[in-house]
Amino acid sequence: MEPTAGPVLYRQLQLWDPSLESGQEEEEEEEETSELVVPDPRRPQDSSRDEAGGLPGAWARLVAALLLLAVGFSLAVRQLPAGSAAPPPSGHSHHPGVYHHGGVVSPAATCSHLGRELLVAGGNVVDAGVGAALCLAVVHPHATGLGATFWGLFHNSTSGSSTALTPGPARTLAPGLGLPSALPALRLLHAHFGRLPWPRLLVGPASLAQDGFLVDTALAGALAARSTEGLCPLLCHADGTPLGPGARATNPKLAAVLRGAAVAPTPDLAGDALLSLLARDLGLRGPSPGPRPTLEPALQLPMPQGILSTTPSPSAGPELLARVEAALRSGGPSPDPCLLVPRAPVTPGSGVLATIDSSGSVLLLTSSLNSSFGSGHLSPSTGILLSDLVAESTSGGWACPLVLHGGSDDTEADVLGLVASGNPVVARVTTRALLSRLAGPQAQAQQQQQGPTQSPSICGQGTLLQVAAHAEHAHVSSVPSGCCTFQGF
């Protein structure tokens, strides 16, 4: 479901801060409302007058109310242009990507919508983010999945604390095949910070895997860029050609894994059950569980604008903090990271998503298969593509989600979150994006006037997601703007 181009409508709250909207919008809303509720001068004001006319007072009041309703409806109809639908007089509108309660942004419209549904159902940003991540594991197997490695950063606006999700050291399931840790990592995150029951988060992803999902342009492009060897019949037509945009794909084996994970009593058991199936496919004795995903305090850097939080080593978080600190000391502009990136075409095997609520709680998730479709090895018993992120690989050099919060200065956002994917210089890219935001609108406009340049956020290879909480509203966006879908309420 793609976001509409028109404004997003909300019901007006009883306690509404007029400063959140411009004076012009307030005047327009007040004018609309006054025209619809102004009393009709012909309406009887005295029940005794009704009785004098021969009608009981109750019937007279009913007739008067119907007349007033008819007059108000007539006025409202005359205000509407032909073929248009006006917002309710008690509503107010925002630009797309601005929400009063919370928002989700991800590379797949289906998963952004699923995350929004979890928010509407009473879930928090962790529920929405974990549910969307499980959805992406189904519909974007080229970039993420249950065979991927996950890093995450959660900022709790209530406590003011930031927590990092770390996957533990990369381990090998078999030569060239990484040991999956996605299920225990996401379950661990939800067990500590989620609100909805764990099985609720798996209903949507399991249904997509069982009943089918439509191949989007991102998945179709990744399929077209590589051989389908190892991916059939999951992502192929009967003749062996790859599925194109709009084709329907199913993965009933993955649906069974998700349903089993929904009833597993602990994160460890969910991961162990999956490892047993994978070992059977590979003819291996069950691998030892080894190090588990963990939750750790985030690395932090105090700044004049607030506190900067990111993930610890072996992610790229320490490099990010070092670069930000050096840039603040020098006071000079950050060098363009895109000049350092090789221009060879790259199909990144990583995915990102972000969720935020209007209070400033944020969840940023980034995952990787190390390359597009990972190892290309499809487990027949589980429907999972295993990664080629093995011990010799850089296990977290692509991960450095960032949250800036608690600033006393007049910054653009009370809470800011950035997460980038698919880039070999992700720390440099994220640093430049942060410094650009801190520079303010005038500096950003001046930079744009210098002429068209390569976007510093993607370097032609990846995605940058931006979320912020400001003035009791949640803001979500992406660079490039058309790469991802955001939804909220």
Give pLDDT, residue 172: 84
Strand (E) or helix (H) holding 77: helix 57-79
Q: Which residue has the higher pLDDT, 437 or 335?
A: 437
Q: Which residue has the higher pLDDT, 429 or 3?
A: 429
DSSP label at residue 275: H
Relative to beta strand 362-368, strand 149-155 is antiparallel
Relative to beta strand 299-303, strand 172-174 is unpaired
C-alpha 195, offset from chain centre = 17
The sign one gets for the Cα dihedral 85, 88, 93, 98 is: negative
- Rounded mean pLDDT, 287-292: 68
DSSP label at residue 427: H
pLDDT over 60 at 210, yes or no: yes
Question: Residue 107, CB half-sphere, CA atoms under 13 Å: how many?
Answer: 32
pLDDT over 60 at 322, yes or no: yes
Q: Where are the alpha helices (DSSP H) in 245-353?
A: 252-263, 267-282, 317-330
Q: Which residue has the higher pLDDT, 274 or 288?
A: 274
Give pLDDT, residue 178: 87
C-alpha 347, offset from chain centre = 21
- Tell me the residue length of the chain: 489
Q: pLDDT tier at 33 (50, 70, 90 boundaries)?
A: very low
Q: Which residue has the higher pLDDT, 234 or 454?
A: 234
Give pLDDT, residue 72: 47
Would you state the structure tokens that stand for residue 96, as one six-digit string? 């797309």
Under 8 Å between Cβ of 376 and 230: yes
pLDDT in tens, 227-239: 888 899 999 999 9
The Cα–Cα gap between 364 and 82 comes to 44
Q: pLDDT tier at 41 (50, 70, 90 boundaries)?
A: very low
- Rounded mean pLDDT, 9-21: 36
User: What burial class does residue 21 get, using C-beta atoms within 10 Å of its C-beta: 0-12 exposed, 13-18 middle, 19+ buried?
Assistant: middle
Residue type, 489: F
Reported pTM = 0.77
C-alpha 287, offset from chain centre = 33
Would you state the structure tokens that stand for residue 336, as one six-digit string? 């363009």
The position carrying tokens 């979890």 is 118
Give pLDDT, residue 49: 40
Burial 436-446 (b: 16+ CB within 10 A, else e): bbbeeeeeeee
Residue 113: φ, ψ to 5° = -65, -40
Would you state the structure tokens that stand for residue 146, as one six-digit string? 């249950």
Give pLDDT, residue 486: 85
Question: Residue 118, CB half-sphere, CA atoms under 13 Å: how many?
Answer: 36
The Cα–Cα gap between 274 and 276 comes to 5
The Cα–Cα gap between 153 and 366 comes to 9
Find residue 302's DSSP bridge partners. 307
The Cα–Cα gap between 44 and 197 comes to 56
Name the residue among 286, 99, 107, 94 with its Cα closest to residue 179. Answer: 286
Percent of the chain with pLDDT over 90: 45
Q: Where are the alpha helices (DSSP H) in 95-227?
A: 109-120, 125-139, 182-193, 198-211, 217-224
- Rounded mean pLDDT, 240-264: 95
pLDDT over 60 at 345, yes or no: no
Write the CA distances from 176 to 271, 293, 391, integer angstroms.
Answer: 20, 21, 9
Write the CA distances from 85 to 35, 70, 71, 243, integer angstroms.
Answer: 17, 19, 19, 39
Q: Which residue has the higher pLDDT, 53 or 298?
A: 298
Q: Is 151 helix (H, G, I), strand (E, B) or coil?
A: strand
Write the CA distances from 204 to 17, 47, 137, 213, 460, integer angstroms.
Answer: 36, 57, 12, 11, 32
Residue type, 263: V
